[in-house]
Structure 1
Amino acid sequence: MAETREVESFLALAEELHFGRTAERLRVSTAQVSQTIRKLERRIGAPLFTRTSRRVELTPLGRQLLAELGPAWSAVGAALDRAAEAGRGVT
Protein backbone atom coordinates (compact mmCIF):
# COMPACT_ATOMS: atom_id res chain seq x y z
CA MET A 1 0.00 0.00 0.00
CA ALA A 2 1.28 3.46 -0.86
CA GLU A 3 2.07 5.99 1.83
CA THR A 4 0.19 9.27 2.07
CA ARG A 5 3.32 11.21 1.06
CA GLU A 6 3.67 9.07 -2.08
CA VAL A 7 0.07 9.67 -3.11
CA GLU A 8 0.29 13.42 -2.46
CA SER A 9 3.58 13.68 -4.35
CA PHE A 10 2.27 11.67 -7.29
CA LEU A 11 -0.91 13.75 -7.58
CA ALA A 12 0.95 17.06 -7.26
CA LEU A 13 3.59 16.07 -9.82
CA ALA A 14 0.91 14.75 -12.17
CA GLU A 15 -0.74 18.17 -12.01
CA GLU A 16 2.40 20.34 -12.09
CA LEU A 17 4.56 18.16 -14.38
CA HIS A 18 7.54 19.93 -12.84
CA PHE A 19 9.64 18.70 -9.93
CA GLY A 20 10.56 22.18 -8.70
CA ARG A 21 6.98 23.49 -8.61
CA THR A 22 5.83 20.25 -6.99
CA ALA A 23 8.49 20.63 -4.30
CA GLU A 24 7.43 24.24 -3.64
CA ARG A 25 3.79 23.23 -3.46
CA LEU A 26 4.51 20.41 -1.01
CA ARG A 27 7.11 22.48 0.89
CA VAL A 28 9.82 19.86 0.50
CA SER A 29 13.02 19.66 -1.52
CA THR A 30 13.11 18.65 -5.17
CA ALA A 31 15.27 15.69 -4.14
CA GLN A 32 12.56 14.51 -1.72
CA VAL A 33 9.93 14.64 -4.46
CA SER A 34 12.20 12.69 -6.79
CA GLN A 35 13.00 10.07 -4.15
CA THR A 36 9.34 9.70 -3.19
CA ILE A 37 8.27 9.20 -6.81
CA ARG A 38 11.07 6.68 -7.42
CA LYS A 39 9.98 4.77 -4.31
CA LEU A 40 6.37 4.69 -5.55
CA GLU A 41 7.49 3.55 -8.99
CA ARG A 42 9.55 0.75 -7.42
CA ARG A 43 6.54 -0.28 -5.34
CA ILE A 44 4.35 -0.38 -8.45
CA GLY A 45 7.05 -1.93 -10.60
CA ALA A 46 6.87 0.46 -13.54
CA PRO A 47 7.54 4.12 -14.34
CA LEU A 48 4.70 6.59 -13.82
CA PHE A 49 6.52 9.51 -15.44
CA THR A 50 8.94 9.97 -18.29
CA ARG A 51 11.62 12.50 -17.47
CA THR A 52 13.96 14.45 -19.69
CA SER A 53 16.03 17.50 -18.88
CA ARG A 54 13.20 19.63 -20.25
CA ARG A 55 9.98 17.70 -19.65
CA VAL A 56 8.09 15.55 -17.22
CA GLU A 57 5.15 13.59 -18.64
CA LEU A 58 2.85 10.88 -17.34
CA THR A 59 3.31 7.44 -18.83
CA PRO A 60 0.15 5.58 -19.89
CA LEU A 61 0.27 3.79 -16.51
CA GLY A 62 0.67 7.15 -14.76
CA ARG A 63 -2.38 8.51 -16.59
CA GLN A 64 -4.39 5.43 -15.59
CA LEU A 65 -3.33 5.78 -11.95
CA LEU A 66 -4.21 9.48 -11.98
CA ALA A 67 -7.65 8.78 -13.44
CA GLU A 68 -8.39 6.19 -10.76
CA LEU A 69 -6.59 7.71 -7.80
CA GLY A 70 -7.50 11.39 -8.23
CA PRO A 71 -11.25 11.05 -7.56
CA ALA A 72 -10.69 8.55 -4.75
CA TRP A 73 -8.18 10.88 -3.03
CA SER A 74 -10.63 13.79 -3.38
CA ALA A 75 -13.33 11.67 -1.78
CA VAL A 76 -11.01 10.82 1.13
CA GLY A 77 -10.26 14.51 1.63
CA ALA A 78 -13.95 15.41 1.54
CA ALA A 79 -14.79 12.68 4.05
CA LEU A 80 -12.10 13.95 6.42
CA ASP A 81 -13.37 17.52 6.03
CA ARG A 82 -16.92 16.41 6.84
CA ALA A 83 -15.71 14.50 9.88
CA ALA A 84 -13.78 17.54 11.11
CA GLU A 85 -16.84 19.75 10.64
CA ALA A 86 -19.00 17.26 12.53
CA GLY A 87 -16.41 17.18 15.29
CA ARG A 88 -16.67 20.96 15.60
CA GLY A 89 -20.46 20.75 15.64
CA VAL A 90 -20.92 22.14 12.12
CA THR A 91 -23.58 20.35 10.10
Structure 2
Amino acid sequence: MTEYVYVRPQPGGRVRMPDRNFMPMDAKGATVPRIDYYERLIITKDLEVCDPPAEEPEPVIEEASPVADSGPMPVEESQLTPRAPRSTKEK
Protein backbone atom coordinates (compact mmCIF):
# COMPACT_ATOMS: atom_id res chain seq x y z
CA MET A 1 0.00 0.00 0.00
CA THR A 2 1.34 3.41 -0.95
CA GLU A 3 1.89 5.97 1.78
CA TYR A 4 1.14 9.64 1.22
CA VAL A 5 2.82 12.76 2.58
CA TYR A 6 1.93 16.46 2.45
CA VAL A 7 4.72 18.54 0.89
CA ARG A 8 5.18 22.03 -0.47
CA PRO A 9 7.85 23.47 -2.74
CA GLN A 10 10.48 25.87 -1.43
CA PRO A 11 9.54 29.55 -1.89
CA GLY A 12 9.93 30.44 -5.55
CA GLY A 13 10.40 26.78 -6.47
CA ARG A 14 8.44 24.95 -9.12
CA VAL A 15 7.88 21.21 -8.91
CA ARG A 16 6.05 19.18 -11.51
CA MET A 17 3.87 16.29 -10.41
CA PRO A 18 4.18 13.25 -12.72
CA ASP A 19 1.22 11.56 -11.05
CA ARG A 20 -0.99 14.53 -12.03
CA ASN A 21 -0.17 14.95 -15.70
CA PHE A 22 3.01 16.95 -14.87
CA MET A 23 1.03 19.92 -13.59
CA PRO A 24 3.08 22.29 -11.38
CA MET A 25 2.51 21.96 -7.65
CA ASP A 26 0.64 24.80 -6.01
CA ALA A 27 2.70 26.98 -3.64
CA LYS A 28 0.41 25.84 -0.80
CA GLY A 29 1.54 22.25 -1.35
CA ALA A 30 -0.12 18.94 -2.09
CA THR A 31 -0.56 15.44 -0.78
CA VAL A 32 1.63 13.16 -2.88
CA PRO A 33 2.57 9.47 -2.82
CA ARG A 34 5.92 8.54 -1.25
CA ILE A 35 7.60 7.49 -4.48
CA ASP A 36 11.25 7.85 -5.48
CA TYR A 37 10.60 11.05 -7.45
CA TYR A 38 9.24 12.96 -4.45
CA GLU A 39 11.68 11.34 -2.01
CA ARG A 40 14.61 12.68 -4.08
CA LEU A 41 13.09 16.15 -4.08
CA ILE A 42 12.68 15.98 -0.29
CA ILE A 43 16.32 14.89 0.14
CA THR A 44 17.58 17.74 -2.11
CA LYS A 45 15.39 20.22 -0.15
CA ASP A 46 13.33 21.16 -3.22
CA LEU A 47 10.28 19.99 -1.27
CA GLU A 48 9.63 20.25 2.42
CA VAL A 49 7.40 17.88 4.38
CA CYS A 50 4.84 19.85 6.37
CA ASP A 51 1.43 19.57 7.95
CA PRO A 52 -1.53 20.12 5.65
CA PRO A 53 -3.26 23.47 6.11
CA ALA A 54 -6.31 23.53 8.33
CA GLU A 55 -9.45 23.06 6.33
CA GLU A 56 -11.44 26.24 6.03
CA PRO A 57 -15.09 25.87 6.97
CA GLU A 58 -17.43 26.13 4.03
CA PRO A 59 -19.31 29.41 3.90
CA VAL A 60 -22.88 29.21 5.10
CA ILE A 61 -25.32 30.05 2.35
CA GLU A 62 -28.66 31.30 3.55
CA GLU A 63 -31.60 29.70 1.87
CA ALA A 64 -33.88 32.02 -0.03
CA SER A 65 -37.32 32.46 1.43
CA PRO A 66 -39.97 30.63 -0.57
CA VAL A 67 -42.08 32.81 -2.81
CA ALA A 68 -45.81 32.54 -2.37
CA ASP A 69 -47.40 30.82 -5.34
CA SER A 70 -49.61 33.37 -6.98
CA GLY A 71 -50.59 31.21 -9.94
CA PRO A 72 -49.48 31.62 -13.54
CA MET A 73 -47.90 34.89 -14.58
CA PRO A 74 -50.12 37.18 -16.62
CA VAL A 75 -49.32 37.37 -20.34
CA GLU A 76 -49.95 40.47 -22.38
CA GLU A 77 -51.59 40.20 -25.76
CA SER A 78 -48.44 41.55 -27.45
CA GLN A 79 -46.37 38.63 -26.11
CA LEU A 80 -48.47 35.98 -27.81
CA THR A 81 -47.32 34.50 -31.12
CA PRO A 82 -50.10 34.35 -33.68
CA ARG A 83 -50.82 30.96 -35.22
CA ALA A 84 -51.93 30.27 -38.74
CA PRO A 85 -55.55 29.26 -38.94
CA ARG A 86 -56.26 25.57 -39.36
CA SER A 87 -57.34 24.48 -42.77
CA THR A 88 -60.67 22.75 -42.85
CA LYS A 89 -60.85 20.09 -45.50
CA GLU A 90 -64.16 18.44 -46.01
CA LYS A 91 -64.25 14.96 -47.38
TM-score by length of 1: 0.24
Q: Would you tell me which structure has more strand in proportion to its own residues?
A: 2
Larger RCO (alpha carbons 8 Å, 6+ apart): 2
TM-score by length of 2: 0.24
Larger CA Rg, structure 1 vs 2: 2
